[in-house]
Copies of this chain bind each other. A is one copy, B any other.
Amino acid sequence: MRHITRKQLLDAPSDFRRNLVNSITGYKSLHLIGSQNRNGETNLAPFSQVFHIGATPPLIGILFRPHTVERHTLENILDTGYFTLNHVSSSFYKAAHQTAARYAVSEFKATGLEEVYLEDFPAPFVVPSQVKMGCYLVENQTLKVNDTVLVIGEIQHFWVAEKGLGFDGMLDLNVLDTVTVSGLDTYHIGKKLGRLSYPKPDQPIQEI
């Protein structure tokens, strides 16, 4: 195996370090975040530092890069309190990637991804997304360790394509064609290996 120390990583070219450390955690949870500013101008951008925080109440965490330059999505969330999380499908993952470009206009318009407002929720959803969540900001803090910003949102509304919701609440990400990202730019779909029974010390694991 190849061994790389902390010092070698810090001495490596910044591209190498960025690619490695961004891909080192494995497959990441990709979402398009829809938001709008106080003037109703919309914004759409891809995020992969998105994670489950709790089920009761339903909380999602998102980590933003340091707020040292203009960050429309973060500013819109802090200003309005509302944002949407939208899964990416294989049919539009290239447009999803393209929303990260620095456009002067809304990324919805620029990339052709259609926006929609649902149930009077004050932030735009992505029409073709098979999983859509409307979230309200409940906490934000700047992590001392590197000035990244942790935003915690509570799910207010949730939409899923009917075929992808199991009777027990499990989403079937294969059926939903949900896309995952590694590093900054490499996209994948998932292929199920198995669903496993609850682990107990005295029982062998079984597929369920």
Contacts and interface: CB of A to CB of B under 8 A. Distances in A.
A187 B194 contact: yes
Contacts of A183: 170-171
B6 A155 contact: yes
A138 B145 CA distance: 8
A160 B16 CA distance: 14
A101 B156 contact: no
A60 interface: yes
The interface size bin for chain A is: 35 or more
A205 B94 contact: yes
Contacts of A150: 150
Contact of A102 (B174, B188, B201): B201
Nearest to A12: B169
Given A25-B50, A169-B17, A169-B19, A57 B10 contact: yes
Interface of A: 1-6, 9-10, 12, 14-31, 48-61, 63, 85, 87, 90, 93-94, 97-104, 110, 119, 131-133, 138-139, 143-146, 148, 150, 152, 154-162, 165-166, 168-171, 173-174, 178-180, 182-183, 185-201, 205, 208
15 contacts: A1-B161, A2-B162, A4-B159, A5-B158, A16-B168, A25-B52, A26-B50, A48-B52, A94-B205, A101-B201, A103-B201, A182-B190, A185-B198, A187-B192, A188-B190
